[in-house]
Structure formats: C-alpha cells, structure tokens
Amino acid sequence: MAILLNPEDDTCQIALEGALDIGAAAELKAALMEALGRGRPVRVSLEALTDLDITTFQLLWTARRDAEAAGVPLTLVGPLQDSVRQTLADLGLCEVLIRE
C-alpha cells in the first residue's frame, strides 16, 4: 500500500496503490486532509488500487463531500482494476464514486 501526496503548482495529486484497508485509514485521512487544506484542486488516482474496504470508501466519499462544501474540486479517476470495480459494484457504488 502506498499513498503518494504530490502537490504540484496548481493541483494536489494523491495516488492510491495496492490494497487499502482500515490499517491505512489514518494515513489516507491525513493525505486527504492535507490536500484539501491547500485549497487547490485535488486529483485522486485509483488506477493502481487493487482492493479497498468500506473504511477506504467512506474516507473517499467524505473527502468528496467535504471538498464540494469547501468549493475545492476533488476528482477520483481510474480506470479501476477489476477487483476494485467488483467491490464497488457489489456495493452498488461504482457510478457514485468514480468517473472514468
């Protein structure tokens, strides 16, 4: 698992890699809060994410909602790996979370 926060001049990019579960929740939350706190558009790449649990989904959902409320664009991008797509599809949330 890796969470990479790469602030660029006009955006913050976070790349999620590997399997993310509750063990990565504090690190993911900190990265999302730091990125949103900069007030610049945030782009979260899910391309290298191989698995996620409900905690990861909740953090991403909350970050999107908080970003909207603060007027900060937050985009979650794929394409999703099959395992992640299946998890989100099983929850009925694939179209809600990701825009490919």
Q: How far is CA 35 from the centre of its chain?
A: 11
Q: Is the pLDDT of residue 1 over 50?
A: no
Q: Is the pLDDT of residue 40 over 70?
A: yes
For 74-86, how does the pLDDT look when each residue is reduced to its tens digit (9 = 90+)?
Answer: 988 888 899 888 8
**Number of domains observed in the structure of the chain:** 1
CA angle 25, 86, 2 (to 5 degrees): 30
Residues 15 and 46 sit within 8 Å (Cβ to Cβ): no
CATH number of the domain residue 48 falls in: 3.30.750.24
| Residue range of the domain that includes 7 | 2-97
Which band of pLDDT confidence, cut at 50, 70 and 90, is reported for residue 24?
A: very high
For 43-97, how does the pLDDT look when each residue is reduced to its tens digit (9 = 90+)?
Answer: 899 899 999 888 998 899 899 999 999 999 998 888 889 988 888 787 776 665 6
